[in-house]
Amino acid sequence: MPTSRCLRFTAGLLSASSLAVILLTISDPSLAQSAIPQHPSAAVIDPAAIKFANQLIKQMTFEEKIGQMSQIAMNTDDRKGVEVGIRQGKVGSLLFLTDPVEVNRLQKVAIDESRLHIPLIVGFDVIHGFRTIYPVPLAMAASWEPTVAETAQRMAAREASSVGIRWTFAPMVDIARDPRWGRIMEGAGEDPYLGSRMAEAQVHGFQGTDLANPDSILACVKHFAGYGAALGGRDYDSANISDDQLWNVYLPPYKAAVDAGAGSLMTAYMDLNSVPASGNSFLLRDVLRDKWKFNGMVVSDWESVKSLTTHGFSANDHDAAVRATNAGVEMEMTSHTYRDELVSAVQHNEVKLTTIDDAVRDILVAKYRLGLFSHPYVDVTRSTTELVSPAQRAATRKAATQTAVLLRNEGDLLPLRKAPTSIAVIGPLADSKADTMGSWSLAGHPSDTVTVLAGIRNRFASTSEIRSTTGVEIERVQPSIFDAQFSSPKPVLKTAAERKTEFDHAISLVQSSELTVMVLGEVQSMSGERASRSSLSLPGEQQALLEAAVATGKPIVLILVNGRPLDISWAAQHVPAILEVWYPGTEGGNAVADLLSGAANPGGKLPFTWPRNVGQIPLYYADNLTQIPDHPDDRYWDGSSAPLYPFGFGLSYSKFTIANLNADATSFHVNGQLPVSVDLENTTDVPGDEVVQLYVHQRSGSASRPVRELKNFRRIHLNAHEKQTVTLTLRSSDLTFWSPLKHEWVTEPGSFDLWIGNSVQAEAHTQFTLLR
């Protein structure tokens, strides 16, 4: 049996008591390690894991230690020699391997043929699903319900682990306040409080209640830190972040993920204040290890160690390996500076052997916590029942309805209570499977996917005549780095005449149909890594198509498929119904049909401030008061400075009132808390969800504080005409901030404003005093 090989080497390394732990693992995996509470903290590591790793490290050669610090990408030429490298103990991890039979075969080489039989850890970018694709992370944040994100990532972990993947490079928790940045779709938007709650939820979803369970995978929080603040929204560009913004805005979601128990963390590509993140000891040692007490493992991003030289930070590969290792990068992703240079670096006392041992220990402990030493192989039959199962399809369909945001609904055009006699479904994204899935769907199969057109046919074909055409085609101007792995359909219209004929055909369908659903936005390669934009306009001729459709006078529903806010200022005035569905995933089309028909009621809210145009960027709600605070919306002489839609905004088919704000007291003490309640009422016959949001403002202190800051929220479901008293609790710790004047964390007594409502424009207001 494969397990006997593991026992053969552990028996020579462990004491009788430690060996008993391993034997117990084999007989009952649920008893493998000491009792771990639900969603364990990263600060709590089983001492047996550390003891096990330490004893194993004593048996390792230096080359074997460096091997554990090396990850090989199986979609590169390095795969050709990987089996030899595994056999020689020179490989610790594999990337981009999804065949469970091949995972087991290579794992068997590690277990049976390497000297110390140390198992591999297989990683993959499980960002918003594996084979079954879920709404993108920005959409999950738009649910304003952490359990939506947790459930999606739990289901993703079940699928990924069924093929032998035990490590994901997610969640991405980078705050993004510039929607030109392509990777905004991978995060939770602009707000550190909402971002922190979503970070925690995703860590819990991936890792489950016990990492040793075979359906749990190790989370990897990325990209540490400040990657979302790239200048100009240009991916990989430098980030220059003040101490105030770094501590109060950009770092909190990472800290929340660490506190939630994240087992690993990934460094970022870019310079942070002129020091590359992968060589930044302030981030990786001072903050992560010393202040936060993180004891998981740290991995570089793709070749970001080698790229320290590209940045002009290190002199060469040798210097890059030394500086990254000393800064705290423990595993190198894909490049080989560690493998080629660290032996010499230790010999010349440029890197301490204890630093290497510390890195290897964290890697071995991660593998131990995952149960890989006792159960290194995946049950290859699991994937046959887990991948794209009915349960997976039901879960992603529900998630897609919960993440949609209704932006406009004039005249209550939606839902379609009576099926139209004919529906035109128009747009380049209406029947594009890949673009329904979204970027980072690398293991997904487009053939599994239900497009918006297919979903509408599934829902309405028995009652309505469904007509469809693209109208226009869109294509990314520059190729995507992921085109070879996952690409959108290419345009087929080659001439201007062909394009005009198609455009006119689309408008003729609009004219002859009772209702038109326009499905517009961005192809999936327009969002994600290396997918930054200089404009937020609808790509191609989509705007012209939309305006021509509206000009017919027929009712139009605009479905937005995208990963960032787009310039829809014209649509917001002229299109009666606008539904943001993001990249909704495998069951996206059925979910959209559920929302159009009223089988589901949109309840999502925006996780960012939606600008009117690109000239307003950066635009976010939590700015400071200015010299003229009474005129926040006319800061430009040639146009409004107000957002098109505010942070936290989203409509519903239901109507809600929020009234009778009541705080339990007018003051409370530091280390105390203040419960605040409101009456929430659904005034319609339609059951629905509302998100009750609590904001505060500190009136004075050691620093100017933002005009409003989100400090609590709750998504509530109410039946028709139901009324409920909703209580949100504000803790004094929620008022703590890093003071740029005092250079420390402070909780300052004084006067505060508090609002509760359904967006950042909440009107229900009270005041309170924080006492010492």
Strand 688-698 and strand 750-757: pairing? antiparallel
Q: What gap in Å lies between CA 375 and CA 166, rounded to an integer?
A: 12
State the CB neighbour count (10 A cutoff) for residue 305: 32
| 301 flagged as catalytic | yes
CA distances from residue 280 to 114, 272, 308, 694, 751 in whole angstroms, order as listed: 34, 8, 10, 36, 39
Q: What gap in Å lies between CA 772 and CA 759, rounded to an integer?
A: 31
DSSP 246: I
CA distances from residue 486 to 631, 654, 676 in whole angstroms, order as listed: 47, 39, 48
Q: What gap in Å lies between CA 221 and CA 202, rounded to an integer?
A: 10
**In degrees rounded to 5, what are phi and psi of residue 210?**
-155, 120
Q: What gap in Å lies between CA 328 and CA 278, rounded to an integer?
A: 8
**Spatial CA neighbour of 665 closest among 758, 760, 752, 733:** 752
Q: How many residues appear in the chain?
A: 772
Planar angle of CA 78, 80, 84, nearest 5 degrees: 95
Contact 342, 348 (CB under 8 A): no
CA dihedral 581, 583, 589, 593 (to 10 degrees): -10
Whether the ω angle into residue 318 lies within 30 degrees of 0, i.e. cis, is no
Q: What gap in Å lies between CA 151 and CA 170, rounded to an integer?
A: 15
CA distances from residue 772 to 204, 668, 751 in whole angstroms, order as listed: 35, 9, 12
Residue 28, C-beta contacts closer than 8 angstroms, at least 6 positions apart: none
Q: What gap in Å lies between CA 595 and CA 490, rounded to an integer?
A: 29
Contact 535, 574 (CB under 8 A): no
What is the maximum span of the chain, computed from C-alpha positions, in angstroms? 82
| Choice among 301, 317, 319, 689 that is catalytic | 301
SS3 per residue for 715-728 = EEEECCCCEEEEEE
Question: DSSP for 61-86?
Answer: -HHHHHHHTEEEETTSGGGGGHHHHH
Tokens 């030493």, located at residue? 373
Active-site residues: which are they? 301
